[in-house]
Structure 1
Amino acid sequence: MTTISLFDKNMEAIGKRYPDLAKRISGTKNNPFYKLIQTSKGKPNLIIKKGSDLFILYDNDDPVTYCDNYLEKLDLKYAPVVVFMGLGLGYHLDRYFKLLGEKVGTRQIVVFEKDIEIFRLALTVGDFSQIISQPDIHFFVGEPPEEIYVRLKTEILSKRDILIALKSLKIIPIPANIHLEREYYEKILAVFKNAVQQLMVLTGNDSLDSFVGLENIFHNIKHIYSNPGIDTLYGKFAKRPGVLVAAGPSLNKNMHLLEGLQDKAPIISCDASFIPLIKKGIRPHLVTSLERTPGVDLFYSGVDNFSGVYFVALPILMPETIDAFKGRKFIGYRGYSHFNWLEEEKGTLNVGISVANLAFKILIELGCDPIILIGQDLAYAEDGDTHVKGDIFGSRCEHIRNQPVIELEGNNGKPVKSEKSWAIMKNTYEEDIAAYKGTCINATEGGAKIFGAEVMPFKDAIDKYCMEVFKPNLILDEAYSSFSEHVDMPGKISRIKKKLKESKEMLFDSIIEFQEALEMTSQAEKEITQPFLEKDPENINMERLTSIEQKYLDLSDTFGKNRILWDLLSHTMNAYDVCFSNELGFLRDVYSDKQCLAMARVKKLKDWFSVVGMFLTLTRDLLEKTEKSLDEKTAYN
């Protein structure tokens, strides 16, 4: 095959999967400081002139053996996810496939190559068409580190098979690339680590905390059934401007501009900015909360008049929070399996860790375009304030001020002081904006830059987008009134009680299965693992150990296929399951001996049988309490 036909074949594959990259490559010319040469064994190599120095990418005698030796020295035992820092002419990647990929269980590969000119040359000397077409191999070529976060996290790292294997992720630096562009690859690595860390934060690390959300859902049943869903508002404000009011310190500068805006744009307030707005005589159309912790109810305490303000209430909130808001409510769900169990659709909002991120998603679903942000600093004010004046917990949150300070790019182009949780919120905004088909205006007038949002003073944004009067309150009132005030609560409660009974019986049967599995594992530890540790390897019964693995697979499969079990427990168990799967897979990095690995896995599976069994029991007890509570309440008003 000729060089030209190789290039064309590769470009055809790139065009199908990475059309933007194909355009960039087509606009790239050969670099006069790069020269392809032939090694003594006829393989292509590359000489690069950088200043007065010359660099050669590979051993000029035998590039293939050179790459083989390098990969062998890495001593990889288990590598489900591999990240290549550099591609060069592709020898390392090609040899990895042929020597190691299947052997070490590789399922996903990410390749970063800073130099698009080197990448273009690689396409002329090797057939990458099949590799490029593979959905589990991902290329980033010549992309600025600060711009890869969204695609990296949303398209790659969020995949389940990557998420549950992150602990065994392997970084393979390509020596010549690192030597030539060390700073670039260090930045890429920092972005990669940041994306992984934030993904793990959003996944959660506490299944007990997730279980609290399920408890709150059952405590909030009366609110769920007696109020309309947020989905009744979907699209009601199509192509209308929407204003999101967060509680950052810059809100002091432009809060007054909201006066007179209520008839020209729906205004949604985060919980912390609600009372400061009310004190200024500004009544937002919507307000919402996200945190399910004590004290959130205080954001609504002491307010005498909720007229004209609607609460977007998530049933995972503590009942005290929802009860504290005495006005009308729309119910919204998070993307949790718990809500599927209710069989009562209200509208699902997939959000990050911040109430402001939730508010942004609400405006997207309402159809707003543009969405204008104010008070979304995500950074300290120059005087050290963290929140708007009038915040019920003060303008300087001590918890935030005790966190390590980081620097982010500011809206004015200069660095601003921030901290990790604000950075997570910023990155979540950037993900949401990337998926949003409308325009986002950051009118915060200070704070951290949110990539993808257009920076504009709030007054200019009002003059440009918020001049038409259309009275959003009338749209909200109509949507609320159209929801029947005569909900058949007895009928709904009767249905739920029937499902509670059915679910309890199913949970009881599963608890017995997990108890049997736990006993089976305990016996294996006593009769196989313990004698082995006492220097008696004769009792290694691999068939018995394998049967425990099969029991684990069978019970996992039962969860996946049983809709009731899945709806009740999959979100609760998600944080634990991600951690467990990572640790179970990581054992392959620790134990090379098959017998030792099998015994270590059985020990880990014992934990799984125990923890999942505990949550099955907790869930069954919760259903029993809910059933008794419903029996005691004969009517809901």
Structure 2
Amino acid sequence: MLDVNLEAMTKYYPDLKVRITKHLANVNDFTRVQSKFGGYTLQNKSGLFVHSSYNPQREAGSFVESFSLNNEDTILIFGLGLGYYLPILRQKFQDKKLIVIEPSLEIFNEALQVQDFTEYLKDELIVFLVDLPPYIVGTIVDSFINENKIKSLYIKQLSFHNRMFAEYIRDVKDNLSKQILSKRGNIGTEIVFSQTWLYNTIKNLKYLGTNPSVGHLKNIFSGKPVIIVSAGPSLEKNVHLLKGAYNKSLIIAVGSSINILEKNGVIPHFIVGVDGSAPEARIFEKVKSTKPIFIYSNIVHHRALDVYKGKQFWMNIACEYPFYNKFYSDVPVFRAGPSVANITLDLVYWLNPSAVILVGQDLAYTGNYRYAKGNIHGDDPEMMAELEVEDTNEFIVVKDIHGDEIYTKSDLLLMKNWFEDYVGFFNKDEGIYNCTEGGTPIKGIPNISLNYALQKYCTREYNMDDLLKKGYNISSDINLEKFNQFILDTTTDLNICKKLSKKRIDKTYKLFNAKDKKNFSRKYREIELLTEELESNNSYKELIIHTGNQYITTITTGVHNKINTIEDIQEKRNVLLEGLIKQYLYIHKSIETADAALREVD
């Protein structure tokens, strides 16, 4: 039986087959036991049975009968065991998708030896996730949701797994919650800022001719300890120690921490900015020193590049527009994250540091403040970040590094989750230390004092000014001929896009407002043809389609879900057209935004 199943896995689960065949020689945590009324069960070393030792088939039937689905399209089950419930489940819920999460590779191997799983391994509606870290499981399920492959989940677990793998199940559910929370946060941010990011990206094109890519800095600063300084309130407790670290480490200030450092007499080597909002420009407008190298994302607010007079390098983040390789070669791409500190951590690991030290990363309201004194936000009464303790409805209570209760917010927890997932998934939990003297802990990053970290990991002297000068002397290596052609082509394309988009909106409105929807299919096909022509446009594919993509997908999903609950054909059509109008208006505004920004590029 095992050979039959492994043969099917060769095509459908090749990586899992390799793990099954290579890594189970010395594993014997379970013993196969004959049940009283036929079939097998498994018994672990503690004497617990995975299935009933009397009648596992009847137990499986009762398990499936306990399901109480509403409108969920997908069933997620923790635990396969020997798979007795699979034929019963497929018979009862033939149209449902099934995700089976089996934490134990040994249990899965035992199942392959006693049951024929070939039809389930081939079934496109069934996915087996075996012996995978909770973060990976969460990421896979989230990708299914993002790709609209599943809409809602019904979750169950086998009783044995609920007892023996409780921590694993909890971690998977936590990661699913994080993914959903992150997705909601990303969609909210995208709705508010995506067109601003597009505008900034195009406005900042003019700097590509003079500013080099950050890719040139790796060899200069590789192998040195790095301190990432954030603006959390605990920065006040140890900022004075950073003065002595100037020639012993690479100091990187993220966001508004640069203003705090300057007020305390500390000059960092790098300053990093990625925020596309106007307050970001104010941060760099108030920087007095031109000594630090400014590393920025191309979505950063365009005025930040106008006002900062020091050396500037640009970096490419995974969420940005994918056209830079047209006129640049070998540009590194860094992982996106909910904060500049998250993104900077990926940048730092790319630099190949000897150690990474986090400072000012409270991720909570230490002392009822979000930022340390001296931050740029405190200068604006509307942006003051002091916590009014009596108004705590928007806040979440967590434990701080000392075990005491502290307030935080969901956006700060997104940043914390990103750090934890990053160091866990990419095995970066060695050589990184959290020297923030307050706030909430970050799982996988031990807390130590900054004084201890400096004495242990920042002992060698470097001539950092000489290293910075090497960076100052690097110039842009852009292919100007290809860059200028890109500008010309994009200008032409966007004019075409505007005309097609306007025509598409007019036709969709006309069809929606028509009292008599005769010839609906023909008229709807005309709209589809305009969409196909628009989406084949190069600038649309490079710029517009990436603007508000999650927002557009959310509208599409909402429309499809609503249509599935409606029986009247005319009402279905109206819901469809309403959703399309909402999408098309957003897309048209994005095209106009790109066109306006391009006209302002010198």
Counterpart check, 1:354 vs 2:339: yes
| Structure 2 CA distance for partners of 1:566 and 1:119, relative to 1, 3 Å | same
Aligned 8 A contact 2:20 2:105 in 1: no
Task: Tell me the CA shift for residue 623 of structure 1.
Answer: 4.7
- State the match for 1:605 in structure 2: 576
Aligned 8 A contact 1:243 1:373 in 2: yes
| Structure 2 CA distance for partners of 1:552 and 1:508, relative to 1, 3 Å | closer
| Structure 2 CA distance for partners of 1:558 and 1:385, relative to 1, 3 Å | same
| Structure 2 CA distance for partners of 1:403 and 1:328, relative to 1, 3 Å | farther
Secondary structure of residue in 2 paired with 1:590? coil
Counterpart check, 1:391 vs 2:375: yes
Offset from partner CA, 1:441-500 (integer Å, 9 cap, x none): 222244333233344333333333322333344334323323059x99899567524531
- State the match for 2:541 in structure 1: 566
Aligned 8 A contact 1:25 1:120 in 2: no
Task: Tell me the CA shift for residue 424 of structure 1.
Answer: 0.7
Counterpart check, 1:272 vs 2:256: yes
**Higher deviation after alignment, 499-508 or 550-559:** 550-559
Alignment of 1:52-201 (within 5 A): 56=52, 62=58, 65-66=61-62, 69-70=65-66, 74=69, 79=73, 81-97=74-90, 100-101=93-94, 103-104=95-96, 106=97, 109-113=98-102, 122-128=111-117, 137-139=127-129, 148=134, 150-154=135-139, 156-159=140-143, 161-165=144-148, 168-174=151-157, 176=159, 185=169, 188-201=172-185
| Structure 2 CA distance for partners of 1:61 and 1:239, relative to 1, 3 Å | closer
Counterpart check, 1:316 vs 2:311: no
> Aligned residues: percent identity?
20
Aligned 8 A contact 2:234 2:437 in 1: yes
d(CA) in 2 for partners of 1:36, 1:559: 64
Code of the aligned partner of 2:83: G
| Structure 2 CA distance for partners of 1:330 and 1:74, relative to 1, 3 Å | same
Code of the aligned partner of 2:540: L
| Structure 2 CA distance for partners of 1:545 and 1:399, relative to 1, 3 Å | farther
Please point out which of 358, 368, 375 is paired with 2:353. 368
d(CA) in 2 for partners of 1:590, 1:356: 44
Task: Tell me the CA shift for residue 626 of structure 1.
Answer: 4.0
d(CA) in 1 for partners of 2:59, 2:544: 52
Counterpart check, 1:501 vs 2:492: yes
d(CA) in 2 for partners of 1:226, 1:399: 43
Aligned 8 A contact 1:45 1:60 in 2: yes
d(CA) in 1 for partners of 2:34, 2:388: 54
d(CA) in 2 for partners of 1:99, 1:514: 45
d(CA) in 1 for partners of 2:175, 2:406: 18
| Structure 2 CA distance for partners of 1:399 and 1:91, relative to 1, 3 Å | farther
Offset from partner CA, 1:305-361 (integer Å, 9 cap, x none): 32x211112232223333332322112233345452794446543321111112212
Secondary structure of residue in 1 paired with 2:202? helix
Code of the aligned partner of 2:312: K
- State the match for 1:531 in structure 2: none
Alignment of 1:216-615 (within 5 A): 216-306=200-290, 308-336=291-319, 338=321, 340=323, 343-345=326-328, 347-381=332-366, 383-394=367-378, 397-398=385-386, 402=392, 404-408=394-398, 410-411=400-401, 417-433=407-423, 434-435=425-426, 439-483=431-475, 496-520=487-511, 522-523=513-514, 526-527=515-516, 561-587=536-562, 590-591=565-566, 596=568, 599=570, 601-615=572-586
Aligned 8 A contact 2:209 2:476 in 1: no
Code of the aligned partner of 1:332: M
**Higher deviation after alignment, 211-220 or 611-620:** 611-620
Code of the aligned partner of 2:30: N
d(CA) in 1 for partners of 2:258, 2:544: 34
**Higher deviation after alignment, 469-478 or 121-130:** 121-130
Code of the aligned partner of 1:100: F
Task: Tell me the CA shift for residue 283 of structure 1.
Answer: 0.7
d(CA) in 2 for partners of 1:514, 1:624: 18
Secondary structure of residue in 1 paired with 2:417? helix
d(CA) in 2 for partners of 1:561, 1:166: 25
TM-score by length of 2: 0.81
Code of the aligned partner of 1:380: Y
| Structure 2 CA distance for partners of 1:91 and 1:410, relative to 1, 3 Å | farther
d(CA) in 1 for partners of 2:571, 2:472: 57
Code of the aligned partner of 2:249: A
d(CA) in 2 for partners of 1:399, 1:550: 55
Task: Tell me the CA shift for residue 614 of structure 1.
Answer: 2.0
| Structure 2 CA distance for partners of 1:574 and 1:174, relative to 1, 3 Å | same
Secondary structure of residue in 2 paired with 1:464? helix
d(CA) in 1 for partners of 2:20, 2:395: 37
d(CA) in 2 for partners of 1:399, 1:18: 53
Secondary structure of residue in 1 paired with 2:510? helix
Secondary structure of residue in 1 paired with 2:343? helix
Secondary structure of residue in 1 paired with 2:245? coil
Q: Count residues with an aligned counterpart.
A: 588
**Higher deviation after alignment, 18-27 or 325-334:** 18-27
Offset from partner CA, 1:224-258 (integer Å, 9 cap, x none): 33322222224543332211111222222322222
Code of the aligned partner of 1:16: L
Offset from partner CA, 1:556-594 (integer Å, 9 cap, x none): 655664432111212213122221232134247535x5x
Aligned 8 A contact 2:220 2:470 in 1: no
| Structure 2 CA distance for partners of 1:546 and 1:208, relative to 1, 3 Å | farther
Secondary structure of residue in 1 paired with 2:323? helix
**Higher deviation after alignment, 557-566 or 190-199:** 557-566
Secondary structure of residue in 1 paired with 2:547? helix
Secondary structure of residue in 1 paired with 2:365? coil
Task: Tell me the CA shift for residue 397 of structure 1.
Answer: 1.8
Code of the aligned partner of 1:478: K
d(CA) in 1 for partners of 2:49, 2:483: 78
d(CA) in 2 for partners of 1:503, 1:279: 45
Aligned 8 A contact 2:434 2:447 in 1: yes
Offset from partner CA, 1:85-115 (integer Å, 9 cap, x none): 44344233444445535x24x3xx4434567
Unmatched runs of 5 consecutive residues or more in structure 2: none
Secondary structure of residue in 1 paired with 2:222? coil
Aligned 8 A contact 1:228 1:331 in 2: yes
Unmatched runs of 5 consecutive residues or more in structure 1: 529-540
d(CA) in 2 for partners of 1:121, 1:84: 18
Code of the aligned partner of 1:448: T
Code of the aligned partner of 1:349: F
Aligned 8 A contact 2:285 2:304 in 1: no
d(CA) in 2 for partners of 1:153, 1:180: 21
Task: Tell me the CA shift for residue 269 of structure 1.
Answer: 0.4
